[in-house]
Amino acid sequence: MADLTHGDDAAAVNALHSAVMRLSRRIKHQRVDESLSPTEMSVLATLARCGSATPGELARREHVQPPSMTRIVALLESKELVSLESHPEDRRQKVVTQTERAEAMLEESRRKRNAWLAGLVERLDDDEWETLRAAAPVLEKLAHL
């Protein structure tokens, strides 16, 4: 394994970090509802990906404190993007579920982001596009390690 803390490898790691962060910020701005914070959008995306969850489970998945998640869920509920139901096994808890309105908004945001990104990709030459296509599974792996 290469020494990723020195020389060319360290420079490559730094360049990767910088590029991923810049691209991520630009992609996050391609959303339909500008009134939602990136954290609120992330919670909705987590619900879409993982299904209904308690606020505590969402807090763990989103790496925020439970009181913060309680506030986020309340905001999303006030915007009719999530609903709260009693937990089937523990009536003291609530289960958060995204609404059809949230599903439609997420789908429209995904279409907008993908169209924006496709516009950027069209500016690449064939070799750059093939390199990026080959890198996508590796970047996905890194995102889940």
Report the pLDDT value the prediction gives residue 49, as an integer from 0 to 100.
92
Instruction: Give 1's pLDDT tier (boundaries 50, 70, 90).
Output: low
Backbone angles phi, psi at 86, to 5 degrees: -65, 140
CATH number given to 8-144: 1.10.10.10
Report the pLDDT value the prediction gives residue 2, as an integer from 0 to 100.
60
Which sign does the torsion angle of CA 41, 44, 49, 50 carry? positive
What's this model's pTM, rounded to 2 decimal places? 0.73
64-108: pLDDT as tens digits = 999 999 999 999 999 999 999 988 887 788 999 999 999 999 999
Whether the pLDDT of residue 135 is over 70: the answer is yes
Report the pLDDT value the prediction gives residue 122, as an integer from 0 to 100.
95
- The pLDDT > 90 percentage for the chain reads 67
Report the pLDDT value the prediction gives residue 90, as an integer from 0 to 100.
79
